[in-house]
Amino acid sequence: MAVAQAIPLIGSLVLTRLYAPTEFGIFSVWLGLVLLASVIVTGRLEVTLAIEHDGGPRNFAALATLATITLGCLFLGMAAGGAYLLVPNLYGGTPVLLLAGVPAVLLTASAQTWQSWAAAEGQYRYLSGMRIAQALGVTGTQIGVGWFAPNSIALALGHVFGLLLGTCFAAYLMPVALSPLRSLSGFLINLRAFWSRNRRFPLLSLPADSINSASAQLPLLIITGKFGPKVGGLFALTMRVLGAPIGLMGAAVLDVFKRSAASSYREQANCQGDYVRTFRVLAAGGVLLAIGVMLLSEPVFVLAFGEPWREAGLIAIWLVPMFALRFVASPLSYVFYIAGKQHVDLVWQCALLVMTVTVFLLPTDFETSVRGYAIGYSFLYLAYLAMSYRFSKGSKA
- In this prediction, residue 173 carries a pLDDT of 92
pLDDT value at 21 more than 90: no
Looking at 122-126, 172-176, 364-368, 374-378, which range is the least confident one? Answer: 122-126
Q: Alpha-carbon distance 80 to 82, whole Å?
A: 5
pLDDT value at 352 more than 70: yes
pLDDT, the chain, mean: 85
Length of the chain: 397
pLDDT value at 48 more than 90: no
With both helix axes pointing from N to C terminus, report the angle between 124-146 and 96-121 in degrees, rounded to the nearest 10. 160
Note the pLDDT tens digit of each residue in 128-162: 899 889 989 998 999 998 888 888 888 999 999 99
- In this prediction, residue 215 carries a pLDDT of 79
Q: Dihedral sign for Cα 51, 212, 39, 31, please.
A: negative
Q: Vertex 160, ends 32 and 243: CA angle to 5°?
A: 40
pLDDT value at 382 more than 90: yes
- In this prediction, residue 106 carries a pLDDT of 95
Rounded to an integer, the average pLDDT of 357-386 is 91
- In this prediction, residue 67 carries a pLDDT of 93
Q: Alpha-carbon distance 334 to 336, whole Å?
A: 5
Phi, psi of 240 (to 5 degrees): -70, -45
